Amino acid sequence: MLNFQLFNDLKFIETIQYESGLCKYGPLSIAYIRDGLINCHFMAKDPFLGQLKNEFPNIHLTETNTSYFSSVLQFIEGTAETSLNLIIRGTPFQLDIWKNIVNIKKGQTISYKKLAERSGYPNAIRAVGAAVGANSFAFLIPCHRILYSNGKTGHYRWGNGLKIKILEDEIPGLKLQYSKTLFDEGDQ
């Protein structure tokens, strides 16, 4: 279960805690504050730290070893029911898109076009695609389940091969192809 909280202003936060480790899909790093998770990336610790320092230059970062990482890991690996509070920094438009992505169940995929329609923005497919790409919660907001209308994968923030691996894990027998853009040669 995921709980969402839109939170655009972190300037009163002094410390962000982070943890890194491995999950079945490779490196995983998370960042959180007292109220909940603010980032979850399929990244190793060092590049994740660089990104956090860039994103939050005036906030103290503290490495921890708590059960928070374990809860995220259990959610990703499907080994236990867990509830996570996501502190989302984004626009109301992005929040609308991300809430709709969360409703896409394991074993299902939809197109960017369908996501735009479900979210109430049928003529904003590119803006919906940009919102999907701005997701800071790998797997938790399952943007890997969004495909082009032609069934090809498109980009994935944490690597196109990982997107294919996750989807093929979630949908046994599925075979996907990567397509850089919807209009790659032969995809029209």
CA distance 143 to 152: 14
Each residue's pLDDT tens digit, 67-108: 889 999 999 998 877 888 888 888 889 989 999 999 999 999
Over its C-alpha atoms, the chain yields an Rg (Å, rounded) of: 17
pLDDT one-digit tens code per residue, 15-67: 899 999 999 999 999 999 988 899 999 999 999 999 999 988 888 999 998 88
**Residue extents of the structural domains in the chain:** 2-88, 92-170
Q: Are 108 and 100 in contact (CB under 8 A)?
A: no
CATH 3.30.160.70 matches 2-88: yes
Catalytic, 143? Answer: yes
Q: Which one of 30, 72, 143, 147 is the catalytic residue? A: 143
- pTM for this predicted structure: 0.86
pLDDT 10s digits, 125-179: 999 999 999 999 999 999 999 998 888 887 788 988 899 899 989 988 877 766 5
- Domain 92-170 is found in CATH 1.10.10.10: yes
How many other CB atoms are there within 10 angstroms of residue 181's CB atom?
Answer: 10
